Amino acid sequence: MRLRSCVHPDGRFIYGVHQPVFTADNFRETDELADLGTLPDGNHYHNAANFPSGPVHEPAANWIYEVPNAFPFRGTTYIGKAWADARTANIEGIRLPTAHDISFSNGHPHPTEAEAAIRQLPRPLQLALAVTSTDARDLRCLAHIACTLCMDDKCGQPWGMAYAKRSDGSTRAVIADEALFEAVANNRHLPDAYKQTMVLCPGAQGGSEIVGEWCRSAPGSHVFEYLRRNSYIPWGHYAANMANDAVRYRVQDLTLQDMAGMRHLYYQRSYTRLAGLLGLQPVIDRRTLTEEALETLRLKIEKDLKKNIRIAFNRTLWGWNYGFDYTPSGYRLHASHQQIHQQFAMIPAKVSIAGDKGTLPAYGCGDLIGEFVKAFRQETGKGFFDCYYRAIVENRRMDGNADRERSLVVFEDSRVMIFVPKAQTSQWELQLMPKAAVGNIFEADTPMRRSLDRAMLTAVKVLEAMGARMITAIEYSKPVVDGDNDQRLLVAFLPKLPESPGAFSEAQLRWINGHYPEDFALACRRHLPDGEDTSNAGNS
């Protein structure tokens, strides 16, 4: 097969293994011999090994598995056998350590002394304390350093912020240190009264209009839909934010009703926009569609799409940035606010060429999968996702050890599965895929949407339980029209790990990993939320 993919047309995974044997010629001219220190017995430890006298021969370097990604545009994963074998012997080690409680104020006998000391800290240490402290006293003090708060004299709690008019006529909060403000406001240990005032109350983060709402299914579950008119996404985007009366800074606090609410607003916005593009009867304003009304509208769209092949906006965009962090040196490590929210938009089919006539196809990440799916069928005569699904279900361990777990599946029901891709990009990547030929949310009926929502929540809960604190999730979907019927909806969950910031290897789409995907799947299954059925996710 000429296509660079780990998925073979026979429905199995293929990959290579490097077993290096080589000799390196020695062109060094000098010996910089030196003592490096002492050993326990008092003898000196020196660097003679760094200065060989002749060529260096390596008779058997560590094996490296080279695993092409299922989708060629996502590069190739390299798994070190020695690292992975060590992980096989310690599956419980596939997790991040739990963060410890940290308090600066505990080191000072009086609150005023602690506050004075915090104010005297160098700014990098203030930033470090803002993201790591678990003491509300520390965080309250940092909040007052970062911005000007209006305080209630009776209860001592903030009720608002100071605002000022700018030269352009806009009104903005008076913030002395933007980075410190972001860092402390995104710490879940900041008292809720401060969270509400600084970032959660509608309007605190700007004038974005609330154009949708979901709140009727469960007490305490409430979602707002914000419109981002002047967005980095052309033609604007929408954000389904957990509302200010439903504080959700951690996935473990997120309920299935919360997830259903955020996703419902995504489905509702996408369906109603597409219905408008098709000229269907408009939906009544100032009312959230019921699940039944949503499905009725979807079926009307599905019927009308059979006679409409040209639509100005023909693809969806959906993403979720979960988690937040700042380094003391000022590097922001994730994009979004900690209060859980998801973002979505419709993508135009074309974009006008600047300064010229004609158009270019507008970009959507799902198009890259669509192009590959077509190429796969042209070369092999088979549907890629059928082969991919079979390879996942019939997977064999990468190391060939038949006595160990072989399954890549973390969770599944009758409609969807969460699995570990054979070639992970993020070292902890998970993927979600329908079992049937559902290529976008317009092809997903009510039971499928419910399964997708539940599986998404399961995936992020598993990753957070393993210690992931920052996760990016993206959706690859096919166009509303003109898409390949074989292309399925795919969601990738991409955790950020502390020791993997991304460097030249990753810039070349060379992804370095230290565990077998089968072992990572086993580790994930051990962290499934209580009540999730794992009976279908093992080596059956």
pLDDT band at 307 (very low <50, low <70, confident <90, very high): confident
- pLDDT per residue as tens digits for the range 432-472: 999 999 999 999 999 999 999 999 999 999 999 999 999 99
Name which of 225, 127, 236 is nearest 185 in CA terms.
Answer: 127
**What percentage of the chain has pLDDT greater than the value 90?**
89
Interatomic CA distance for residues 462 and 528, integer angstroms: 5
Name which of 398, 436, 400 is nearest 416 in CA terms.
Answer: 436
- Biggest CA pair distance of the chain: 87
Residue pair 494/426 in contact (Cβ under 8 Å)? The answer is yes
Domains of the chain as residue ranges with CATH: 1-20+66-97+365-540 (3.30.428.10), 105-207 (no CATH), 210-363 (no CATH)
**What percentage of the chain has pLDDT greater than the value 70?**
97
**Cα 97 to the chain's mean position, in Å?**
19
Strands in 22-179 per DSSP E: 22-24, 35-38, 44-46, 56-58, 64-68, 76-80, 149-151, 158-161, 163-165, 171-173
Q: What is the DSSP letter of 407?
A: -
- pLDDT per residue as tens digits for the range 89-133: 999 999 999 999 999 999 998 999 999 999 999 999 999 999 999
Neighbours of 91 (CB within 10 A): 16
Judged against a pLDDT cut of 60, whether residue 539 lies above it is answered with no
Per DSSP, the three-state class of 66 is: strand
Q: What b/e sequence results for 115-124 when a residue is b if at least 16 CB atoms lie within 10 Å of its CB, and e otherwise?
A: beebeeeeee
Beta bridge partners of 13: 7
Interatomic CA distance for residues 431 and 303, integer angstroms: 30
Q: What is the pLDDT of residue 532?
A: 63
Ramachandran angles phi, psi of 101, nearest 5°: -65, 140
Name which of 296, 309, 199, 188 is nearest 248 in CA terms.
Answer: 188
Cα angle at 193 between 464 and 220, to 5 degrees?
60
Interatomic CA distance for residues 322 and 238, integer angstroms: 16
Residue pair 424/511 in contact (Cβ under 8 Å)? The answer is yes
Residue pair 96/500 in contact (Cβ under 8 Å)? The answer is no
Interatomic CA distance for residues 167 and 60, integer angstroms: 68
Q: Which two tokens stand for residue 355?
A: 């300064």
Query: From the CA atom positions of the chain, what is the Rg in Å?
Result: 27
Name which of 10, 7, 67 is nearest 517 in CA terms.
Answer: 67
Neighbours of 304 (CB within 10 A): 15
Residue pair 75/66 in contact (Cβ under 8 Å)? The answer is no
Q: Which two tokens stand for residue 128?
A: 């470090």
Judged against a pLDDT cut of 60, whether residue 187 lies above it is answered with yes
Average pLDDT value for residue range 65-75: 98
Lowest mean pLDDT among 112-126, 298-312, 357-371, 487-501: 298-312
**Residue partners of 220: CB distance under 8 A and separation at least 6:** 245, 246
Look over the chain and give the mean of its residue pLDDT values, rounded to a whole number: 94
Judged against a pLDDT cut of 60, whether residue 540 lies above it is answered with no
Taking CA atoms, 442 is separated from 53, 235, 439, 478, in Å, by 68, 20, 8, 10
**Cβ neighbourhood burial of 156 (10 Å; 0-12, 13-18, 19+):** exposed
Interatomic CA distance for residues 174 and 216, integer angstroms: 36
**In sequence order, what DSSP letters do the residues of 263-285 get, joined into one string?**
HHHHHHHHHHHHHHHTTPPPPPS
The alpha-helical segments, DSSP class H, found in 364-503 are: 365-380, 384-393, 446-465
Neighbours of 350 (CB within 10 A): 12
pLDDT band at 217 (very low <50, low <70, confident <90, very high): low
Beta bridge partners of 17: 65
Beta bridge partners of 341: 241
Q: What is the pLDDT of residue 535?
A: 44
Residue identified by tokens 């940290």 is: 102
Q: What is the DSSP letter of 86?
A: H
Q: What is the pLDDT of residue 286?
A: 84
- pLDDT per residue as tens digits for the range 382-410: 999 999 999 999 999 999 999 999 999 99
Judged against a pLDDT cut of 70, whether residue 337 lies above it is answered with yes
Interatomic CA distance for residues 199 and 181, integer angstroms: 10
- pLDDT per residue as tens digits for the range 22-34: 999 999 999 999 9
Tell me the pTM: 0.95
Judged against a pLDDT cut of 70, whether residue 248 lies above it is answered with yes
Q: What is the DSSP letter of 42?
A: S
